[in-house]
Structure 1
Amino acid sequence: MNPPTIRIDMDDKKTWSPESSSDPSAYEGDMHHVKRNFTRRLTESFKRDPNASVTRSSFSAADSHGYDAEAAAQATALSPLLRRLKGRHLQMIAIGGSIGTGLFVGSGKALAYGGPASVLLSFSLTGVMLYCTVQALGELAVLFPVAGSFAAYSTRFLDPAWGFAMGWNYAMQWLVVLPLEIVSASITVDFWDHKVGLNAAWVAIFLILIVMINFSGVKGYGEAEFVFSIVKVSAVIGYILLAVLMNIMGGTDSQERPNGSYMGFRLWHHPGAFHNGFKGLCSTFVTAAFAFAGTELVGLAAAETENPRKTLPTAIKQVFWRITLFYVVSLLLVGTLVPYDDSRLLNGKSSADAKASPFVISIQNAGIEVLPSVMNVVIMISVLSVGNSSIYGSSRTLAALAEQRQAPSFLAYIDRKGRPLHAIIIASVFGLLAFLAASSNQQDAFNWMLALSGLSSIFTWGSICLAHIRFRKAWALQGHTLDELAFRSPVGVWGSWVGVVFNVLVLIAQFWTGFSPVGFRQDSARELVINFFQAYLAAPVVVIMYIGYKVFVRTRIVRTRDMDLFTGKREMNIKTLLAEEKADRLHWPTWKRVYKFLC
């Protein structure tokens, strides 16, 4: 007779079918087992991953300066985050990751301050800078697909103190962006329903939705971003086609009534291509830099990608098409359809108010009834996408900081589903700040929260480029060649220098426009001080964190000859693999070679 334990196991594996029994109790009994097993699996999935404990013991002996950089690199390399993101997820994150309110709504404020030529120039040059930055990030992330890549690269190739400042800078950016985006999503509902009392209800709905997506794991995040990005990309492509038709047939007469005349670049002559001179141009550079925020998430996701060596280069190449098609072409067309002196561009009550979107305004000017509502739906989805990325970006960064002992150790908790559980909970709790929307001081609270994240992306991009420059120098000094790299930045070190210089120029422009903004009145000194600190608050916060950590932990700038170029490398026989792929490419047809070169 079989032991009872075996019989129980067999019972657990049974499945009910109509042929197996006509007795309903058999189905109910099996459903009881299914429910019990589901509950047990769900409960156990939140338990700590046993592999996560290795990262806590890796710091058993710190160096004489109080920080063990080698152990930190090992901790991020051995992070138990699951590799569940596929190539299609990464590609859509790269293509649609930064398409959001910065493009759909923020571009309206840039148009009002600088004119259409300034918008086109600033977004194009910022796109070139970001292309160089993402290429540098791709080279580092393919070779070292480690958790919390931005801060980890700064810690590894620059200075652990700078890595600490960059990690917390990036985490704070997303932590405060989450409640802002949730409130913005609730405000998009005002486009149809002006009942203010419903805002708190929409805040709760959107917050629960975003939290549920992130608690479903990295694959849930990837699938959600895949859908969000498809919607955003489709909307931009559809708008470009519509804008061409509106430009050809969407002119107005002296009473601003549609008369079906060709517009061309009429608005570039009257009211003009530029506005507010050089200061107006600088202000649009700042807006353009903020609009591209989130592009670097493709590098953060490398640690959770099935095969970063193959999927990351393909995703990185998508940046060129996003910059060219989605930003440059769409904003060129917007500048031919909406004059910079349109009062509606500055009348938005939030960064997601569709009424201030030049995309919506251009459609309204053409007299099309339904499409403004469609664009508002796209703006809502874009806001939710940014909120979704907020929890993902902040939780992964906090977990990586904890792995390197630069944050409380409980944040390094990774459960059996590969979720940084405690970090996700902390990020989700920050979302409750969105209920400040019901407060009388909501505008002041949100302005200061936004100030904390205002310059975060600029520091992040500059640090990526600088880390790439230092890495290349160490790579050559330690006897390696560029042929050993699985992915090589096509713009090389010079591209990274362009990124560093451009980001410094944007910081200078932000300082100037913060100290003396467009339209500043000489009699409003108090408003000037408040505006400056709200525009530049992130800079002193970063400096204080860097100096404080450096003094307390006594870190040193990492010397080139001492850089660890081994820990975290995924491919040890890269030369053989690259040779095989090169031989395989010789048999590709011409169309495939062209496609792979471009995409």
Structure 2
Amino acid sequence: MEEDKKSKDWSPESSSHPSAYEADMHVVHRTFTSRLADSFRRDPNASVTRSASFSAADGKGYDAEAAAQATALSPLLRKLKGRHLQMIAIGGSIGTGLFVGSGKALAYGGPASLLLAFTLTGCMMYCTVQALGELAVLFPVAGSFASYSTRFLVSQAPVTLFHRPKSNSFQDPAWGFAMGWNYALNWLTVLPLEIVSASITVDYWVWVMPGGARYLINGEEQVQNIGLNAAWVSIFLVLIVLINFFGVKGYGEAEFVFSIVKVTAVIGYILLGVLINIMGGVDSAGRPNASYMGFRLWHHPGAFHNGFKGLCSTFVTAAFAFAGTELVGLAAAETENPRKALPTAIKQVFWRITLFYIVSLLIVGTLVPYDDPRLLNGKNSADAKASPFVISIQNAGVEVLPSVMNCVIMISVLSVGNSAIYGSSRTLAALAEQRQAPAFLAYIDRKGRPLYAIIIASVLGLLAYLAATHKQQDAFNWMLALSGLSSIFTWGSICLAHIRFRHAWILQGHTLDELAFRSPVGVIGSWIGLTFNILVLIAQFWTGFSPVGWQKMTVNQRIVDFFQAYLAAPLVVIMYVGYKLLMKTKVLKARDMDLFTGKREFNVRGLVEEERADRMWWPRWKKLYKFFC
């Protein structure tokens, strides 16, 4: 009875202990906070990285099989879906290289050189991405092409159809080491570079606003926007870092949205450009008129400018504009079904090259003369005042759309910055898993985030605060120099790895029917891509040493311009030669390649044959559509 009385008299207010509801809420609260804390703890599967070793001093040599297993078994989460890959492929590299950099290329080479350079570079990129797709579908490993450079350009114990290479065999990861760090440094410098660019795009509205504060530097009028730039740097940096801390799904969703905006803008500009060309353009003095344009500007002032050197200069700009295309292959390790999603995404490159680059630049070349002084007024690759897209809209007398295009340029810059943290962090983690970088960078938490690599990339983003100083332009130029030729080396290495892989695949008794995805351009396409990349390196050396208008430059200006144009090349050579001399590595033979470790699916031949048999019954229109899409 007394117990019943006590139970009746009990109330939340009279109890010194929490009620059942309060206790449950405490558990819920504790569970949420503990889950948040646990998400940053190391994934237990990440212990596979401890098996890889590259120390020559231990007398064991480079354990390539362990390194390959480390990248293949990386605990990165496979959260990317087909729609993410498709939008990354379509709009991933659409950025300032197209929207703004094309203006400088137009001024140096003329509309015909601009179109020719982007078309040939696009053909090279199509071949390169197809080769990457074939490798990434078969080996969707962390680090992708950096790992392929190590794997297919190394020396190891003999391999046969029934014999895997033994561990601790001496190998040559020197080129993979150089390519991995080259790619990582590229993105590490691109992050502050793009944040600086994003803050500079804000200056566009300061210029167009009446009464904007300005000051003089070396006799040139500049925007007084230093404090505002620092504020925008903070906003952009925090936004990009937060997106990447949401993991690969956050990156995928952000790029999905960014790419939709960029693709919509380019399609809208193409339609607008056609209307402007038909209904009215500009006269020889740059004044708007209402006459049909056609290809009038190809006749006066002309289709080409500065001859062959002008054409070579546009090749360099085209290569910069296509940078980031290879991220599709890097994302393969975090894709749910790379064998199904990756080939479809790879084929989207055709449409991006055709529609977004070739068609849009063809229209630009008919609306903006190459001698328009505004094309060279921009001091960097994100200056909307020098964008031929913006200039062509201004010439048509449309007042609102230039600001809209500047917003698109800003979104493009943020998209590249977002990709910078993703690309650098995944590459650093893969290098660490192969023991080609400090081991702590291989730390991957339970949400699949390479945590320390993301932190390192984010911290280097603080260099963007140089935008809040009067050395803004110098900082921009030298960061751009570090990343200038990086993509050329990356693309050439992809093509070379594919050539070596195909040779070893046939030599070791395999057939092409065993490949889940086969590059439609094959080895010939990879040879074309490799050759073209070498030619671009030669052209860049020539235009860097003797740029257009070098007669008017001082010796010091020419030296600075050369190093800003070619700085990435000596860095790659130093990393490769230094590693090779230190590790005393050897060159790989095709018969010795390991074609087993890290394959996502070993028995795909039957599945592929079923799919090919099913395609035999497709109507012709569907076969044509699936070939391109």
Give TM-score scaled by structure 1 length: 0.93
- Give the root-mean-square deviation of aligned CA atoms: 1.8
Report the Cα offset of residue 522 of structure 1: 5.4
Among residues 29, 33, 52, which one is paired with 1:35 in the alignment?
Answer: 29
Among residues 502, 506, 511, which one is paired with 2:532 in the alignment?
Answer: 502
Among residues 171, 175, 179, which one is paired with 2:188 in the alignment?
Answer: 175
Q: Please give the per-residue CA displacement for 1:37-78, whole angstroms capped at 9, x wherever unaligned.
A: 221111000000000012213449979572122221111111
Report the Cα offset of residue 579 of structure 1: 2.1
Note if 1:354 corresponds to 2:389: no
Equivalent residue letter for 2:326? E
Tell me if structure 2 keeps the 8 A contact 1:173–1:453.
yes
The whole-number CA distance in structure 1 between the counterparts of 2:202 and 2:20 is 49
Report the Cα offset of residue 187 of structure 1: 1.1
The whole-number CA distance in structure 2 between the counterparts of 1:26 and 1:379 is 55
Q: Does 430-439 or 220-229 show the bigger shift?
A: 430-439
Equivalent residue letter for 1:156? R
Among residues 105, 108, 112, which one is paired with 1:110 in the alignment?
Answer: 105
Tell me if structure 1 keeps the 8 A contact 2:380–2:473.
no
Match of 1:15 in 2: none
Unpaired segments of 5 or more residues in structure 1?
Answer: 1-24
Equivalent residue letter for 1:183? V
Note if 1:142 corresponds to 2:129: no
Tell me if structure 2 keeps the 8 A contact 1:510–1:535.
yes
Equivalent residue letter for 2:197? S
Match of 2:70 in 1: 75
Match of 1:419 in 2: 449
Tell me if structure 2 keeps the 8 A contact 1:86–1:305.
yes
Alignment of 1:6-85 (within 5 A): 31-59=25-53, 66-85=61-80
Match of 1:3 in 2: none
Report the Cα offset of residue 587 of structure 1: 4.9
Match of 1:302 in 2: 332
Note if 1:91 corresponds to 2:104: no
Alignment of 1:116-131 (within 5 A): 116-131=111-126
Tell me if structure 2 keeps the 8 A contact 1:65–1:554.
no
Tell me if structure 2 keeps the 8 A contact 1:156–1:558.
no
Note if 1:186 corresponds to 2:199: yes
The whole-number CA distance in structure 2 between the counterparts of 1:386 and 1:317 is 21
Alignment of 1:116-265 (within 5 A): 116-159=111-154, 160-193=173-206, 195-253=225-283, 256-265=286-295
Report the Cα offset of residue 178 of structure 1: 0.3
The structure that has the greater radius of gyration is 2
Among residues 469, 479, 485, which one is paired with 1:455 in the alignment?
Answer: 485
> Closer, same or farther in 2 for the Cα pair 1:523/1:250, shift >3 Å?
closer
Match of 2:511 in 1: 481
Q: SS where residue 115 of structure 1 aligns?
A: helix
The whole-number CA distance in structure 2 between the counterparts of 1:295 and 1:567 is 26
Match of 2:169 in 1: none
Equivalent residue letter for 2:35? R
Note if 1:340 corresponds to 2:370: yes
Q: Does 403-412 or 431-440 show the bigger shift?
A: 431-440
Q: Please give the per-residue CA displacement for 1:247-267, whole angstroms capped at 9, x wherever unaligned.
A: 001233465432211000000
Q: Please give the per-residue CA displacement for 1:472-510, whole angstroms capped at 9, x wherever unaligned.
A: 000001000000000001111110000111000000000
Note if 1:554 corresponds to 2:581: no
The whole-number CA distance in structure 2 between the counterparts of 1:371 and 1:28 is 56
The whole-number CA distance in structure 1 between the counterparts of 2:283 and 2:375 is 21
The whole-number CA distance in structure 2 between the counterparts of 1:363 and 1:353 is 16
Report the Cα offset of residue 32 of structure 1: 4.4
Note if 1:583 corresponds to 2:613: yes
Q: SS where residue 80 of structure 2 aligns?
A: coil
Report the Cα offset of residue 588 of structure 1: 4.3
Note if 1:274 corresponds to 2:304: yes
Alignment of 1:346-425 (within 5 A): 346-425=376-455
Tell me if structure 2 keeps the 8 A contact 1:410–1:422.
yes
Tell me if structure 2 keeps the 8 A contact 1:363–1:372.
yes
Q: Does 241-250 or 50-59 show the bigger shift?
A: 50-59
Alignment of 1:540-551 (within 5 A): 540-551=570-581
Q: SS where residue 521 of structure 1 aligns?
A: helix
Q: Please give the per-residue CA displacement for 1:292-351, whole angstroms capped at 9, x wherever unaligned.
A: 000000000000000000111000100011000000000000000000011111111321
Note if 1:468 corresponds to 2:498: yes
Q: SS where residue 120 of structure 2 aligns?
A: helix
Match of 1:10 in 2: none
Q: Does 71-80 or 266-275 show the bigger shift?
A: 71-80
Match of 2:8 in 1: none
Q: SS where residue 47 of structure 2 aligns?
A: helix
Report the Cα offset of residue 26 of structure 1: 8.0
Note if 1:574 corresponds to 2:604: yes
Match of 1:20 in 2: none
Q: Please give the per-residue CA displacement for 1:79-132, whole angstroms capped at 9, x wherever unaligned.
A: 111100000000100000110000000000000000000000000000000100
Equivalent residue letter for 1:217? G
Q: SS where residue 528 of structure 2 aligns?
A: helix
Q: Please give the per-residue CA displacement for 1:348-401, whole angstroms capped at 9, x wherever unaligned.
A: 132111111000000000000111011011000000000000000000000000
The whole-number CA distance in structure 2 between the counterparts of 1:213 and 1:51 is 24
Report the Cα offset of residue 595 of structure 1: 2.7
Unpaired segments of 5 or more residues in structure 2?
Answer: 1-18, 155-172, 207-211, 213-224
Report the Cα offset of residue 206 of structure 1: 0.3
Match of 2:3 in 1: none
Structure 1 vs Structure 2: percent identity of aligned residues? Answer: 83
Match of 2:216 in 1: none
> Closer, same or farther in 2 for the Cα pair 1:585/1:200, shift >3 Å?
same
Match of 2:562 in 1: 532
Match of 1:434 in 2: 464
Match of 2:354 in 1: 324
> Closer, same or farther in 2 for the Cα pair 1:61/1:361, shift >3 Å?
closer
